[in-house]
Amino acid sequence: MKRTLALLLVLLSVSSVSFANDTSRDIDAATAKIMAKVVEWRRHLHQYPELGNSEVKTAKYVEDHLRRLGFEVRTGVAKTGVVGILKGGQPGPVIGLRADMDGLPVTERNSLPFASKETAEFNGQKTGIMHACGHDTHVAMLMGAAEVLAGMKDAIKGTVVFIFQPAEEGPPAGEEGGAPLMVKEGVMDNPKIDAIFGIHINSQTEIGTIKYKAGAIMASSDWFQIKIKGKQTHGAYPWAGVDPIAVGTQIYTGLQMIVARQSELTKAPVVITVGRWNAGIRENIIPEEMTMAGTIRTLDPDMQKDVHEKIRRTATNIAESMGATAEVSIDTKTLVTFNDPELVKKMVPSLEKAAGKENVRLTEWVTGAEDFSYFHQKVPGFYFQVGGMPKGKSVKDAAPHHTPDFYIDDSRLDVGVKAFANIVFDYIK
């Protein structure tokens, strides 16, 4: 009896491995057939980018594709988001796959035949619009995964929810948007998602490769503003007033001392950047007020709270010591993006099927931020990077994200398509 049971277990194990190998081969073949279309989709989206909460044409492009595949489709989610639902041939868990859709207020600077010529108004200024963070590739890869998985629907045990998210880079001032609004509107609850996965292209990682990390992988992002009020006076008589610009320079130095002397950087990095500084109207007038604003990046939730407190204390105390006042406001844009360690351990083999074991590598955390972190608050998640840098190019010569010269080699988007599809079958298994 024991020998019979052991033999049965061996046969079941062999059968399971055989099924997994066959499925992966089927995914490879199906992806190869549609790769030309994936590149075409990506280049169309790149040529016609839209800013957050304005992705109307992009949403329609995605919606039409999902409807052609026979998906249940929901539109207008978190303003311009699209959700496609694929129910497999058998019952099982619900898996979320996410791609962000928005471009950035960046004017493209290259000679690509599909370079963006789109413009818009952003914060009161006319600007070019560009997919300067690769969201066009994310959408194309998820559209590709949708087509591959639709063709394998009967073999899927469970449901796949395809989330095409607007406004990852942040909604317009005064509006809600992005992942927080999607979560608020119940995208994770109907049907109830058990685990969620996301991809980010990287312009400084070679094509054909995937990078991942368990635990914290991307920073929280907070935007802060410090409004300093002094006393206006003639520029020739500074002693007759309180110079808010002078106060601001001292506060700026104090903020960097929070990083250099008050934060335990061996535990996790901290970045405080002032990116905006507004004061005055005339050269010989010391103004009454000045405003500085910037971003805070942390990779530990407790450090995030601690840094907020230190910024408030530093700004108010320095201002008071110089006879001024400082009003500090901090707005949390994203949380720490945290990859569930157990989920990562289980799903790394899926990435190896997509890219080859030798092309899947551990990476370090980064101080960039992602609102994918809000999905993580609901269920375990796994967010990883796919390479977009041309083979043989030096990292130092590859333009970083959010810049006019940002460039992605789209010849290996198949890696992302296959990663999404393998994840679905392996998670179910």
Per DSSP, 357 falls in state G
168 tagged catalytic: yes
**Alpha carbons 175 and 98: distance in angstroms, whole number:** 22
**Alpha carbons 163 and 182: distance in angstroms, whole number:** 9
Catalytic residue among 168, 370, 410, 426: 168
Asked if 152 and 19 count as a contact pair (C-beta separation under 8 A), the reply is no
Catalytic residue among 55, 63, 100, 102: 102
**Alpha carbons 2 and 202: distance in angstroms, whole number:** 52
Q: How buried is 49 (Cβ within 10 angstroms: 0-12 exposed, 13-18 middle, 19+ buried)?
A: buried
Residue at token pair 């998985």: 149
Pairing of strands 210-212, 125-128: unpaired
- Bond before 191 cis per omega within 30 degrees: yes
**Alpha carbons 60 and 243: distance in angstroms, whole number:** 53
Compute how many other C-beta atoms are within 10 angstroms of the C-beta atom of residue 7. Answer: 10
- Tokens found for residue 125: 């200024």
Three-state DSSP class for residue 41: helix
Asked if 337 and 376 count as a contact pair (C-beta separation under 8 A), the reply is yes
| DSSP symbols for 296-353 | EEESSHHHHHHHHHHHHHHHHHHHHHTT-EEEEEEEEEE--EEE-HHHHHHHHHHHHH
**Alpha carbons 348 and 346: distance in angstroms, whole number:** 6
Asked if 242 and 323 count as a contact pair (C-beta separation under 8 A), the reply is yes
Catalytic residues, by residue number, are 102, 168
